[in-house]
A = this chain, B = another copy of it.
Amino acid sequence: MTPERKERIIKVLNHRQPDLTVVMENVMDPHNIAAVMRTCDSVGIQEIFVLNTMIARHKKFGKKSSASAAGWLTIHQFDNTEECMKAVKAKYKNVYATHLGEKAVSLYELNLSEPVALVFGNEHAGITEECLKYCDGNFIIPQVGMVKSLNISVACAVTLYEVYRQREKNGNYSGAARLPSEQYNTLADQWGLLEDAE
């Protein structure tokens, strides 16, 4: 590993946000899944939850390459809503769903510097009722145009970059490691940072 690459990997590790995650519930299109993962990596998310109650378990996540964002994320796969959402709630204080419910607020009204899990649903059906039961609130991305149709990859990017904006202001991306040391060391090992020391 070159010193430049080592430095880059350490920088990425030091920007990872332990208190930020995404849950994809029954997101079907592999392009959407890949785009969401790229944005997660871009804003420093380390672990994501992939919940599938409608389709077979995604097999392709097995093929992790360093060129794809999936290779740098910790992906938890579930096929049971209760198990998945209980695991999410145990770790993240606020669970918000992109869902046009009765009490939906604008994305820009949310405090996203606090520990948060953001839930995105199926491209057509949205988030299931069962999954919504575990969410603390619903939010929408404001739209003032004729065609109401932000793609999930676009909606996710707009949401995660609002998280980034708020947290950057908050000093969360100062470069001081935020991951718990055990998780930090495990990733450092997986990502080859400890090889020189062996």
Contacts and interface: CB of A to CB of B under 8 A. Distances in A.
Interface of A: 8-9, 11-12, 15, 35, 38-44, 66-69, 71-72, 108, 141-151, 153-154, 157-158, 161-162, 164-165, 168, 173
A157 B123 CA distance: 18
15 contacts: A12-B146, A35-B151, A38-B149, A38-B154, A42-B147, A42-B150, A43-B145, A67-B147, A72-B146, A142-B164, A151-B153, A154-B154, A157-B157, A158-B158, A162-B165
Contacts of A15: 144-145
Q: State the copy count for this chain.
A: 2
A136 B177 CA distance: 36
A42 B108 contact: no
B72 A12 contact: no
Nearest to A156: B154
A154 B39 contact: yes
Given A154-B153, A157-B158, A162-B161, A72 B42 contact: no
Contacts of A154: 35, 38-39, 153-154, 157
Given A144-B173, A145-B43, A154-B157, A165 B66 contact: no
A98 to B, nearest CB: 14
A69 B148 CA distance: 9
Contacts of A71: 146
